[in-house]
Amino acid sequence: MNKNGKKAALHNLGCKVNAYETEAMQQLLEQAGYEIVPFEPGADLYVINTCSVTNIADRKSRQMLHKAKKMNPEAVIVAAGCYVQTAKERTGLAVEADILLGNNKKQNLLEALEEYNRQRVASVSPQESIIDINHTKEYESLFLKRTEEHTRAYIKVQDGCDQFCSYCIIPYARGRARSRELEEILLELRTLAASGVKEVVLTGIHLSSYGKDLETSLLELMKRAHEIEGIERIRLGSLEPGIVTEQFAREACTMEKVCPHFHLSLQSGCDTVLERMNRRYTTEEYLERCQILREYFVRPALTTDVIVGFPGETEEEFGRTVEFLKKVRFYETHIFKYSMRKGTRAARMPDQLPEAVKAARADVLLELNRLHKQAYEESWLGHPCQVLWEEKTRAGSGNYYTGYTKEYIKAFLPADGEYENQISSGTLALGEDGLLILKRD
């Protein structure tokens, strides 16, 4: 119900943590009586949750702020998040918006709007709410009562990072690692389960560090989440390989709700490049963690990220990455061309590579990823699995429901009934259209 007669539009840039925060801000606005409308002309309020992970992300953030102002010059423009934080704290850049909300201040959106409206006639300067993010231990409290996706909910449980990888600006944008109180997370999970959500994805900027400042752990959170009635699946966001110990795998594999889908951040398959990146493991140590997961789980889906064209990366170093990827045989590898980020140590490194070299190396890894993905999916043909159905879609020559196995393999089911947010058991088979079809039990 539109209680105050005003319309609000929100736009999210960046990661799943940002997406969670944007959805939480939307629910704050709904509770305050705003009608949520598409990010198009006609809104009275535009909220852009910005990203600053690369220079390109900075540019996109600025472009969306310009777009919002152009769509309605009289609207109130709110710039929130990482670009706001880094632009003001590290570069001193002016951010063109009426209200600036840095990280840890998105929970104050309604208060910032009230203050702006009080001062709108007299004030010409943006209302700023930006803290020194690098000297706070406070965890920003945001809460979801429901999720737009209905079947799956991304739950932010941790913020900040202490790693300081040489290519990454995020510790400066998000601050030090800090964790959300366990009981608050569990309350949110129970609330979402009551709304019908069956799968939750635990996310954070550096998820592996969850609980270190609270005398608990990610494993303890998983155990407590596993007890919640209605939650059928627990999926983990990106992990650092160091969290995968014998104890972690041994205990996690006893929790049937935990999805055997592990995204272990790699970035390079070459030790000398990893050292320049300030990644705190070797390829040998990384491989050992993958082997632990494969020992305790049946055909787990191992996925990763790789950056190609890092400063100084030689042909030999790139070749080592290729060979390492062949050895591990990931289900999926997300490939990124190195993008210089001002303010990071890597941006000042010599031997920055040409874009053409980065593109050629990315193409090599994209083809390798295609082969590995195909091989992993084929390894599941004829084997029992479970699929959580999400939505109807047109694919190939028919109408299907699409969903994902616990390993995050995308599967299809002929849309001959209503299956949304239901879990079906069966075996995977290759259909006539080349789709992976679930043959139900």
Q: Do the domains 152-379 and 7-131 match in fold?
A: no
Q: How far is CA 342 from the centre of its chain?
A: 22
**Does an H or E element contain 182, and which?**
helix 182-194
| Chain segment 72-114, per-residue pLDDT in tens | 999 999 999 999 888 765 544 566 788 888 888 899 899 989 8
| Burial class (CB within 10 angstroms; exposed 0-12, middle 13-18, buried 19+) of 350 | exposed
The pLDDT of residue 94 = 60
d(CA 403, CA 423): 9
Query: What's the pLDDT score for residue 127?
Result: 55
Q: Residue 128 has what pLDDT?
A: 57
Task: Find the mean pLDDT for residues 58-72.
Answer: 93
- Give the pLDDT confidence score for residue 5 in this predicted structure: 79
Identify the weakest region by mean pLDDT among 233-237, 262-266, 342-346, 403-407: 342-346
Report the candidate in 75, 84, 80 with the shortest Cα–Cα distance to residue 20: 80
Residue 47 has pLDDT above 80, yes or no: yes
Q: What's the mean pLDDT when you consider all of the chain? A: 91
Q: Please check whether residue 77 is in contact with residue 46, taking contact to mean a CB–CB distance below 8 angstroms.
A: yes
Classified as helix, coil or strand, 108 is: helix
Number of Cβ atoms within 10 Å of the Cβ of 157: 26
Q: What are phi and psi of 126, to 5 degrees?
A: -60, 145
Residue 144 has pLDDT above 90, yes or no: no
Residue in the structure block whose two tokens are 């006893």: 254
Please give the CATH number for the structural domain made up of 7-131: 3.40.50.12160
Domain spanning 152-379, CATH class? alpha beta
Share of the chain above pLDDT 70, in %: 93
The full set of domain ranges for the chain reads 7-131, 152-379, 384-440
Band of residue 413 on the pLDDT scale cut at 50, 70, 90? very high
The phi, psi pair for 227, rounded to 5°, reads -85, -10
Burial class for 42, CB neighbours closer than 10 Å (0-12, 13-18, 19+): exposed
- C-alpha 190/C-alpha 147 separation (Å) is 13
- DSSP H or E segment with residue 402: strand 398-405
* Residues contacting residue 188 through CB under 8 Å, at least 6 positions apart: 143, 144, 155
- Looking at residue 104, its pLDDT comes to 85
241 pLDDT above the threshold of 90: yes
Tokens at residue 291, please? 């082997």
What is the C-alpha end-to-end distance of the chain, expressed in Å?
Answer: 44
Sheet holding 332-337, edge to edge: 261-263, 301-308, 332-337
Each residue's pLDDT tens digit, 180-222? 999 999 999 999 999 999 999 999 999 999 999 999 999 999 9
Interatomic CA distance for residues 36 and 436, integer angstroms: 37
pLDDT digits (tens, 9 = 90+) for 242-270: 999 999 999 999 999 999 999 999 999 99
User: Is 130 a residue whose pLDDT tops 60?
Assistant: no
What is the arithmetic mean of pLDDT over 389-396? Answer: 90
Burial bucket for residue 255 (CB in 10 Å: 0-12, 13-18, 19+): middle
Largest CA distance in the chain: 69
pLDDT digits (tens, 9 = 90+) for 327-368: 999 999 999 999 988 889 999 999 999 999 999 999 999 999
